Amino acid sequence: MDSVTLGKKIKEARLRKKLTQNEVVGDFITRNMLSQIESGAANPSVKTLEYLCKVLEIPPNQLIDEQTPPTAGEYAMLRDAYIKGRYEAVIAAEKADGFDDELAALKARSYLRLAERFSQSNKAEQLQCAIEYSRRCAEEASKGIFADTSTADSAKEIIKSCAAKLSEFYAKMI
């Protein structure tokens, strides 16, 4: 992604939060540097980009052009998003050469966490979402060098459990 587009996205995110440049920079970067980043005159480092995402409370993929695959630094941000429970940000990431296996593993676990969350519901729509997330989890968990049968097996158990709940739900409707 070019620096002008990235800067524009950062500025738009800041303005949506109704923050001044001074409020965003804190002690991490200077206001002048943020101004240069927002105008496209400078590219932020990975650490600066991580900091800005944290302060602006936005997932990294919101700043990443959808046609541009993630870089190594962006993968670090995706791992951080997973750790912090921002699973949708991980799932939305595009694949890139050299990191496909790691991203598949992160996506599988993110789908599993969302499936677990939705499977606790007694609402048919959420149970169906849990089944779909579990299906996608099993698919991603079977890819690459980080293929993980235990993750796929957990997803299959969620599918069985949700299918049973849905059967009970629909039986009550009859």
How far CA 92 is from CA of 2, 32, 83, in Å, comes to: 20, 32, 16
pLDDT tens, position by position, 22-61? 999 988 899 999 999 999 888 888 788 888 988 988 877 7
Q: Is residue 101 part of a domain?
A: no
Query: Token digits for 16?
Result: 């949506």
Q: Is residue 119 part of a domain?
A: no
Q: How many structural domains compose the chain? A: 1
Q: Is residue 74 part of a domain?
A: no
Angle at the Cα of 109 (from 47 to 136), degrees rounded to 5? 120
**What average pLDDT does the structure give for the chain?**
85
pLDDT tens, position by position, 89-131? 888 877 655 567 888 899 999 999 999 999 998 888 999 999 9
Residue 54, domain CATH: 1.10.260.40
Q: Is residue 94 part of a domain?
A: no
Q: Is residue 39 part of a domain?
A: yes
For 22, the domain range is 1-58
Q: Is residue 21 part of a domain?
A: yes
Q: Is residue 131 part of a domain?
A: no
Whether the predicted model's global pTM rises above the 0.75 cut:
no
Q: How far apart are CA 14 and CA 16, in angstroms?
A: 5
Q: Is residue 5 part of a domain?
A: yes
